[in-house]
Amino acid sequence: MSRLSRWRAAVAAGPLLVAAIATSSAPAQADDLRSALTAAYQTNPDLQAARDSLRATDENVPIARAAALPSLSGSASYNEYVDKGGSYFSTSYPDRVLNLGANAGVPLYNGGAVKNGIRAAKTRVEAGRASLRGTESSVFTSTVTAYMDVIRDAAIVGLQKNNVQVLEVNLQATSDRFEIGDVTRTDVAQSRSRLALARASLRSAEANLVASRETYVRIIGHAPGTLEAPPALAGMPGGVEDAVDYALDNNPDLMAAREASKAAGFDVKVAGASRLPTIAANASTNNTNYLSSYQPGVPNASRNMVAGLTASIPLFQGGAPAARVRQAQATQGATMEQEIGTERAVIATVRSAWSAWLAAKEVIGLNQTAVDAAALSLEGVRAENTVGNRTILNILDAEQELLNAQVQLVTAKRNEYVAGFALLSAMGKAQARDLGLDGGTLYDPVANYERVHHRIWDWDSDPAPVARATATVDTPAQDATIPDQPLP
């Protein structure tokens, strides 16, 4: 095959190369998008930290409930009278004394502080669960973005490599034609310049691919293998208003903001309870034993028991209760404004994602048309060059136009998929329960709450925590290797 024939075949292979590289990455195990999402779900540190934070929030319920439960305490003391002063009356003092006591208290009324404190804690648990779902959506969106970035950048590296190979053949062919006087030195210089620029673009594309693969490792926890084309997105809305309506009811960040606002309302009632009376029942017992160290004829032990009610009626507290109420009201006002701000952000995000998704779908079709037209134009320019109607520069420009169109097509496909998933995420349809992940049972945030919310024993602790996220310190540094695509 002649150099010119190889040159034509290499350029014609460009569009096919996009499809080949779009489903490949580093020479490792094959990955699909679902397995990448599953790995992130199981090992991503941000998601694991969010689960731990929710478990910490769960504990606020038994902490708040503890204020309504009985309390019991004991006391013990032992004293030796080492120096009784040497007076006449010193013989009336014992040599030693042992005191044992116990106190029990039961709160009966506290102005509603405990009741509203428990309600606030439970509401914040609901807010925490919504925030966890929001973190899931965020991690999954980052996973999809990283996955598609690797596919895009690997495809671009493949295109740039192919372009370098084409230009290398072009430079050699131009040099051969210069030797026989068919072209000028200017044509050779132009070919050499384009080859140098193509090699620079290839190096930049390789650096971008390395960065995308390292981001994949950071989010998903292992190096990308041969990435398969992602499945079609399911559950896309029929219109932008449908998407907004769904998001207003299901976006996890907005749901968390609403629950936080409700919890702040209970905090106002808790603060107001400090102005109301409190009533508690209490009982105590005390046992004193002189351990037979008293003078003869004097009892060496005594015991007493007391039970009763205690009422506390606040009359003046320096304005502190009113300040706490005003503070809680201001905090509630802030959460109400934050709820509106979150609602605004959700609406804007959904509408923007919808527009980006539609635009990207149109851009794909337009770029495909551009690729087809540029390929046809290149063939025509090359054919006209053989009869002297086109210059080498015309061919170089046509090759660059085709390359640009191919890169834009690959980028548009990536943008369309990422924008579509971002739209689902903003709507609240990109959580673990929506994606049908493999790899076992999904994390159940309710299970821990059910486990702890009625636990009342002071020594009922959990084992020491251990990290569950995957460390990547032993993952090799990523490179820009892609499957070789030799010239035909």
Tens of pLDDT, residue by residue over 83-100, are: 766 655 555 677 889 999
297 shares its domain with 405:
no
330 shares its domain with 416:
yes
220 shares its domain with 360:
yes
Asked whether residue 468 is assigned to any structural domain, the reply reads no
Helices (H), 59-112: 60-66
Cα–Cα distance measured from residue 435 to residue 143, given in angstroms and rounded to the nearest whole number:
13
Residue 126's nearest CA partner among 261, 327, 268, 248 is 261
Residue 24 has pLDDT above 70, yes or no: no
14 shares its domain with 131:
yes
Q: Encode pLDDT of 199-250 as tens digits.
A: 999 999 999 999 999 999 999 999 998 899 999 999 999 999 999 999 999 9
| pLDDT score of 26 | 39
Residue 219's nearest CA partner among 44, 51, 48, 49 is 44
| pLDDT score of 17 | 39
Residue 434 has pLDDT above 90, yes or no: no
Asked whether residue 458 is assigned to any structural domain, the reply reads no
Please state the rounded mean pLDDT for residues 149-158: 95
Query: C-alpha angle 313/319/324, rounded to 5°?
Result: 95
| pLDDT score of 292 | 78
Say if residue 162 is exposed, middle or buried (CB neighbours under 10 Å; 0-12, 13-18, 19+).
Answer: buried
146 shares its domain with 185:
yes
Chain centroid to Cα 55, Å, comes to: 16
Contact 274, 317 (CB under 8 A): yes
Share of the chain above pLDDT 90, in %: 66
Q: Which domain holds residue 98?
A: 69-82+90-109+277-313
CATH number reported for the structural domain that contains residue 293 in this entry: 2.20.200
Residue 19 has pLDDT above 60, yes or no: no
Q: Encode pLDDT of 244-294 as tens digits.
A: 999 999 999 999 999 999 999 999 999 999 999 999 999 999 998 888 777
Helices (H), 221-318: 240-250, 252-272
143 shares its domain with 191:
yes
The total domain count for the chain is 2
Asked whether residue 414 is assigned to any structural domain, the reply reads yes
136 shares its domain with 102:
no
Q: Encode pLDDT of 391-415 as tens digits.
A: 788 888 888 899 999 999 999 999 9
260 shares its domain with 304:
no
Asked whether residue 73 is assigned to any structural domain, the reply reads yes
The end-to-end CA distance of the chain, in Å, is 9
Q: What is the mean pLDDT of the chain?
A: 88
304 shares its domain with 192:
no
Cα–Cα distance measured from residue 10 to residue 339, given in angstroms and rounded to the nearest whole number:
57
Cα–Cα distance measured from residue 472 to residue 214, given in angstroms and rounded to the nearest whole number:
10
Share of the chain above pLDDT 70, in %: 90
Please state the rounded mean pLDDT for residues 454-462: 89
| pLDDT score of 7 | 40
| pLDDT score of 261 | 96
Q: Which residue has the higher pLDDT, 485 or 306?
A: 306
Q: Name the residue with tokens 């689902």.
A: 424
| pLDDT score of 1 | 43
Cα–Cα distance measured from residue 45 to residue 51, given in angstroms and rounded to the nearest whole number:
10
| pLDDT score of 223 | 93
149 shares its domain with 252:
yes
CATH number reported for the structural domain that contains residue 27 in this entry: 1.20.1600.10
125 shares its domain with 100:
no
237 shares its domain with 372:
yes
